[in-house]
Amino acid sequence: MSQLFTPFPLGSVSLKNRIVVSPMCQYSAEDGLAGDWHMIHLGGLALSGAGLLFIEASAVEPDGRITPGDLGIWSDATEAALGRVIQAFRKYTNIPVAIQLAHAGRKASSHAPWDGGQLIPIGRGGWQTEAPSAIPHAAGEHPPVALDKAGLARLRTAFVEAAKRAHRLGIEVIELHAAHGYLLHQFLSPLSNQRDDEYGGSLENRMRFPLEIYDAVRAALPADKTVGVRVSATDWVAGGWDLEQCTVFAKALKQHGCSFIDVSSGGVSPLQQITLGPGYQVGFAAHIRAQTGLPTIAVGMITEPEQAEEIVASGQADMVALARAMLYDPHWPWHAAAKLGGTVDAPQQYWRSQPRDQKALFGPTSIGQR
């Protein structure tokens, strides 16, 4: 029996399999509002047969957007627009839905990747960014403003209000984005955090604000709500955030009641030297899982069904998250189930697509159709 296609309890949410659709920024919102593109994009992925669908990184306030096209969840209008999309695909699938709550910090005010990704100057459509310290992400960029106590308090409130909005929309899983060089990761990394107060310096101090955000969000939601964190296990830069520090952070998150940890890497510095290859981040997830016992999601160049099966079956991670592979093949879970002998949910409108030699692919309800 394929382990990839066995159920998994993620906090209070029951996943039908271990395949997760990663949060993938689309840079296609207007003023933070989900639109027709999100209806098409998320609607298709909701029918993928995966066990969990992540909505892309969603900014908790306008200045926390990576780009002007980022999705947001900071107002009644952004909440309503996203709700329209979720309500539409909920008519046809009961896939559990997650959202990644984010603030870009010093990496905000940037062009979309297809426009180069550089910082947008103030006065040319950009805005003043904020960060733990007034250190720009890349040399020559306009520096961010170091957050003061009032700014930290404002951000705690912003994350809490965004989480409440997501809960009202019926989103089952909340993930805080503390990876890829964005704000919470910036607090964790000594490369970006050079504060001299209680939020900088020692590892304990650098973890303080991300843990405060987690605690505030956790306290604002029902006790059984599934709340996890995405981390970068290493900066891939000497003297930066690394696996040892990340493991300490993961252990602290577990003590604070974290439901799961989603393990990625990199993003805080353009000086990073990443060694790419199939499953290049899986070892980080395996280490953190072994050290903490937290339910763990592995990500990064996981493209083949057999590869995903081995990760789960060998205990390196509890779940695998796919991003580019899912964009390239939105029915990746169907094809993986066909190869591995699994079963997936599919809308009845698609049952006739089931190959003749895969009569149980869509479950017993699809067998015997005329």
Instruction: Categorise residue 234: left if φ over 0, alpha if ψ from -120 to 50, beta otherwise.
Output: beta
Residue 1 lies in a domain: no
Q: Catalytic: 182?
A: yes
Tell me if 214 is assigned to some domain: yes
Distance CA 326, CA 335 (A): 11
Quick check: is 163 in a domain? yes
Domain assignment present for 80: yes
User: pLDDT tens, position by position, for the chain (370 residues)?
Assistant: 899 999 999 999 999 999 999 999 999 999 999 999 999 999 999 999 999 999 999 999 999 999 999 999 999 999 999 999 999 999 999 999 999 999 999 999 999 999 999 999 998 999 999 999 999 999 999 999 999 999 999 999 999 999 999 999 999 999 999 999 999 999 999 999 999 999 999 999 999 999 999 999 999 999 999 999 999 999 999 999 999 999 999 999 999 999 999 999 999 999 999 999 999 999 999 999 999 999 999 999 999 999 999 999 999 999 999 999 999 999 999 999 999 999 999 999 999 998 888 878 997 655 555 4
Residue with tokens 């426009």: 115
Where do the H-state alpha helices sit in 233-364?
Answer: 243-255, 282-292, 305-313, 324-328, 332-340
pTM over 0.85: yes
Tokens matching residue 259: 């439901």
In a domain, 25, yes or no: yes
Chain-centroid distance, C-alpha 128:
25
For residue 303, the enclosing domain spans: 8-366
Residues 8 and 16 sit within 8 Å (Cβ to Cβ): no
Name the residue with tokens 């892309």. 56
**Structural contact between residues 85 and 34, judged by C-beta atoms closer than 8 angstroms:** yes
Domain membership of residue 84 (yes or no) is yes
Q: Which of these is catalytic: 27, 92, 182, 214? A: 182
Query: CATH code at 19?
Result: 3.20.20.70
Q: Is residue 212 part of a domain?
A: yes
Number of domains in the chain: 1
Whether residue 62 is contained in a domain is answered as yes
To which residue do tokens 């003749």 refer? 356
